[in-house]
């Protein structure tokens, strides 16, 4: 597990770049499971970015991430942005990986981001609790076993109004039976 200072350093460099470019972003993935569910280990940082703005600023983005001490492959990043697929950046100083998603998994999620104090005195945009749960459900439908426990913990710690919204998203995504299945599972190992 990386020390919290490594996460803070890497995130600080990345968020500064996105802010300089005017690219909307928010944290998602394992980091949000920790914020909304229960503490668990995570070895990377997942970030959703506004693909339309990033695509227009790609050459400047390359220059900034290069000076920000990130290792990356420009042709792979360019292709990923064009195809709206995940790409990776590696912080050469902290040896911490960023998974960048140049698309929204849940429609409109960047519009519903929440500012959360991720580190002492540092607020960053984070996927909303409801959108985090909906995204976990989508990942579960694609085979992610780790997301099953994350989803249960996010759901259990949610207010009733958020639970209703999670169920609404599950229904719209045609995943309501999967939601009920996951929520019925035990957190204990058999």
Asked whether residue 50 is assigned to any structural domain, the reply reads yes
Q: What is the pLDDT of residue 6?
A: 83
Question: Do 95 and 148 sit in the same domain of this protein?
Answer: no
The residue among 95, 111, 126 that closes a domain is 126
> What CA–CA distances, in Å, run from 63 to 20, 58, 98?
12, 9, 17
Question: Do 27 and 76 sit in the same domain of this protein?
Answer: yes
Give the sheet arrangement for strand 87-91, strand by strand. 70-71, 87-91, 96-101, 44-49, 25-28, 122-126, 114-119
> What CA–CA distances, in Å, run from 110 to 1, 2, 35, 37, 125?
28, 27, 17, 20, 9
Asked whether residue 172 is assigned to any structural domain, the reply reads yes
Question: Do 69 and 135 sit in the same domain of this protein?
Answer: no
Q: How confident is the model at residue 102 (pLDDT cuts 50, 70, 90)?
A: very high
For strand 96-101 and strand 44-49, is the pairing parallel, antiparallel, or unpaired?
Answer: parallel
Question: Do 121 and 135 sit in the same domain of this protein?
Answer: no
Model confidence pLDDT, tens digit, residues 103-143 = 999 999 999 999 999 888 999 999 999 999 999 999 999 99
Question: Do 111 and 175 sit in the same domain of this protein?
Answer: no
Rounded to an integer, the average pLDDT of 164-169 is 98
Q: What is the dihedral of CA 80, 83, 85, 89, to 10 degrees?
A: 10
Question: Do 171 and 105 sit in the same domain of this protein?
Answer: no
What is the chain's alpha carbon radius of gyration, rounded to the nearest angstrom? 17
Rounded to an integer, the average pLDDT of 5-28 is 94
Model confidence pLDDT, tens digit, residues 172-187 = 999 999 999 999 998 7
Rounded to an integer, the average pLDDT of 50-69 is 95
Question: Do 93 and 178 sit in the same domain of this protein?
Answer: no
Q: How confident is the model at residue 189 (pLDDT cuts 50, 70, 90)?
A: low
Rounded to an integer, the average pLDDT of 11-31 is 94
Asked whether residue 189 is assigned to any structural domain, the reply reads no
Question: Do 32 and 60 sit in the same domain of this protein?
Answer: yes
Please count the other Cβ atoms lying within 10 Å of the Cβ belonging to residue 122.
12
Distance CA 99, CA 44 (A): 7
Domain range enclosing 176: 129-183
Q: Is 69 or 31 the better-scoring residue by pLDDT?
A: 69
Question: Do 77 and 158 sit in the same domain of this protein?
Answer: no
The residue among 126, 149, 175 that closes a domain is 126
Q: What is the pLDDT of residue 41?
A: 64
The residue among 126, 149, 167 that closes a domain is 126
Weakest-pLDDT range from 74-78, 91-95, 164-168, 185-189: 185-189
Asked whether residue 19 is assigned to any structural domain, the reply reads yes
Asked whether residue 188 is assigned to any structural domain, the reply reads no
Residues 6+ apart with CB under 8 A from 118: 11, 27, 31, 35, 124, 126
Q: How many domains does the chain have?
A: 2
């Amino acid at each position: 597990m990386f020390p919290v200072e490594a996460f803070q350093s890497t995130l600080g460099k990345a968020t500064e770049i996105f802010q300089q470019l005017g690219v909307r972003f928010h944290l998602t993935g394992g980091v949000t499971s920790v914020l909304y569910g229960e503490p668990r280990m995570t070895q990377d940082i997942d970030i959703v970015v506004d693909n339309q703005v990033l695509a227009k600023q790609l050459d400047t983005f390359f220059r900034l991430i290069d000076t920000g001490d990130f290792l990356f492959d420009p042709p792979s990043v360019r292709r990923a942005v064009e195809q709206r697929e995940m790409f990776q950046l590696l912080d050469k100083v902290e040896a911490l990986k960023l998974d960048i998603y140049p698309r929204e998994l849940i429609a409109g999620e960047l519009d519903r981001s929440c500012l959360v104090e991720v580190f002492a005195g540092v607020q960053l945009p984070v996927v909303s609790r409801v959108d985090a749960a909906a995204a976990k459900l989508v990942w579960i439908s694609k085979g992610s076993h780790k997301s099953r426990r994350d989803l249960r913990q996010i759901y259990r710690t949610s207010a009733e109004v958020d639970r209703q919204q999670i169920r609404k998203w599950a229904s719209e995504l045609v995943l309501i039976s999967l939601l009920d299945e996951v929520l019925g599972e035990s957190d204990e190992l058999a």
